């Protein structure tokens, strides 16, 4: 790195990298951000590099963001155009700071689970070339600690309903991690109608928005203000009022308390007809699948499961689902930074 170091991004990742470098005695000149909300962090100015003059001589910019909506490669080119000498991604420096930083979503210094045997297994069960390429590019980026560029990235509006997938005419939709009904809205826009909806959202601040969305769409739905897990126990939940709410194990911090449910105990007699099960629950997908084992095994069901919240989800989740039935598997990427990576399993 050059002598003048800037951090692009004044959010959580930028602040954590700054703290790590400060403890190491590495000087940060300033934060850079095109969406400035504060003037400074720890007396370090926050500057908009595209709206004001920044000293770019002998400079390195570390793009310290992890955002599905930000195209790092495009941002990198813009920063070079402004005059910065070197632009690095979060991934370029992660290996050096991983002990202090820890795991972050799928990002981890431990990639032993990406063994040749595990990689071959997943490649062999994937059903099309796009899935193979997406998986191979993802594995390569994780092993090499590079920006996870995927050549076949789909628009976020198509998440769960991409036209090149063998979606069927469904009778039931189980939406686990329904958020504010954004998936229901996306389905409605393309007239992808499923008559019976069962939606789960444990964040009380978001649940009302979900209910309002269902009313606005005039859908037939049963809404559950619950988390979904492998058991029916009370859990501690970090509710952020956005898409990142998750079940946590740190009871020393004040979080919300929620009631978890296992899908096998919600749908005891299974469901009639064809069902689509979607899960996007911030790292609890594997446990939720364990709690739905009987439902998945005994129902005519297709699955759409997020596999980017934990490092080994991309291996362990397809291996687990493969044991539950005879499926065709597809992998689709909808966001930048390896975010919104979804595994689809269609019953053969």
Q: What is the pLDDT of residues 15-34, one digit of tens each?
A: 999 999 999 999 999 999 98
pLDDT band at 52 (very low <50, low <70, confident <90, very high): confident
CATH class of 116-347: alpha beta
Mean pLDDT lowest for which of 146-150, 238-242, 281-285, 318-322? 238-242
Domain segments of the chain as ranges: 4-101, 116-347
Percentage above 90 pLDDT, the chain? 83
How much is the pTM? Answer: 0.91
Q: How far apart are CA 345 and CA 343, in angstroms?
A: 7
**Does residue 47 carry a pLDDT above 50?**
yes
Which CB contacts under 8 angstroms, 24+ apart, belong to 81-84?
82/49, 82/50, 82/54, 82/56, 83/56, 84/6, 84/49, 84/56, 84/59, 84/60
Q: Residue 145: its pLDDT value, please?
A: 86
Phi, psi (rounded to 5 degrees) for 76: -55, -45
- Pull the structure tokens for residue 263: 């899908």
Q: How far apart are CA 341 and CA 37, in angstroms?
A: 30
Q: What angle do CA 182, 184, 187 make, to 5 degrees?
A: 110
The domain 4-101 is placed in CATH, from the list 3.30.565.10, 3.40.50.1460, 3.40.50.20, 3.20.20.70, at 3.40.50.20
**Does residue 250 carry a pLDDT above 80?**
no
Q: For residue 332, which of 130, 121, 166, 146 has the smallest C-alpha distance?
A: 130
Strand 246-248 with 234-238, pairing: antiparallel
Mean pLDDT score, 115-121? 97
**Does residue 252 carry a pLDDT above 60?**
no
Task: Tell me the average pLDDT of the chain.
Answer: 92
Q: How far apart are CA 202 and CA 246, in angstroms?
A: 9
CB-CB contact of 301 with 274 (8 Å): yes
**4-101 shares its CATH topology with 116-347:** yes
CB-CB contact of 31 with 44 (8 Å): yes
What burial class does residue 215 get, using C-beta atoms within 10 Å of its C-beta: 0-12 exposed, 13-18 middle, 19+ buried? exposed
Strand 300-306 with 30-32, pairing: unpaired
b/e 308-321 (16+ beta carbons within 10 angstroms → b):
bbbbbbbbbbbebb
Residues 6+ apart with CB under 8 A from 116: none
Strand 221-224 with 196-200, pairing: parallel
């Amino acid at each position: 790195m050059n002598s003048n170091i800037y951090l692009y991004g004044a959010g959580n990742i930028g602040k954590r990298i700054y703290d790590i470098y400060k403890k190491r005695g590495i000087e940060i000149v300033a934060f850079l951000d095109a969406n400035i909300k504060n003037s400074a962090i720890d007396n370090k100015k926050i500057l908009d590099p595209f709206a004001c003059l920044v000293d770019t001589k002998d400079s390195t910019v570390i793009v310290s963001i992890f955002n599905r909506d930000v195209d790092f490669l495009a941002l990198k080119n813009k920063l070079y155009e402004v005059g910065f000498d070197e632009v690095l991604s979060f991934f370029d420096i992660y290996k050096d700071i991983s002990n202090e930083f820890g795991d972050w979503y799928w990002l981890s210094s431990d990639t032993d689970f990406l063994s040749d045997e595990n990689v071959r297994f997943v490649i062999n069960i994937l059903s099309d070339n796009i899935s193979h390429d997406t998986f191979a590019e993802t594995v390569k980026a994780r092993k090499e600690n590079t920006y996870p560029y995927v050549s076949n990235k789909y628009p976020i509006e198509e998440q769960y309903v991409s036209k090149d997938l063998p979606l069927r005419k469904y009778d039931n939709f189980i939406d686990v991690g329904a958020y504010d009904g954004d998936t229901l809205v996306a389905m409605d826009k393309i007239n992808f109608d499923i008559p019976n909806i069962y939606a789960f959202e444990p964040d009380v601040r978001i649940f009302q928005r979900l209910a309002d969305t269902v009313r606005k769409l005039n859908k037939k739905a049963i809404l559950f203000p619950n988390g979904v897990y492998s058991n029916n126990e009370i859990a501690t939940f970090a509710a952020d009022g956005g898409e990142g709410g998750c079940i946590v194990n740190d009871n020393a911090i004040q979080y919300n308390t929620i009631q978890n449910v296992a899908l096998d105990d919600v749908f005891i007699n299974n469901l009639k007809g064809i069902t689509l099960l979607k899960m996007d629950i911030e790292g609890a997908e594997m446990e939720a699948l364990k709690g739905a084992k009987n439902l998945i095994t005994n129902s005519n069901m297709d699955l759409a499961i997020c596999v980017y919240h934990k490092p080994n989800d991309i291996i362990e989740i397809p291996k687990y689902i493969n044991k539950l039935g005879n499926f065709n598997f597809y992998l689709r990427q909808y966001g930048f930074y390896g975010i919104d990576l979804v595994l689809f399993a269609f019953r053969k």
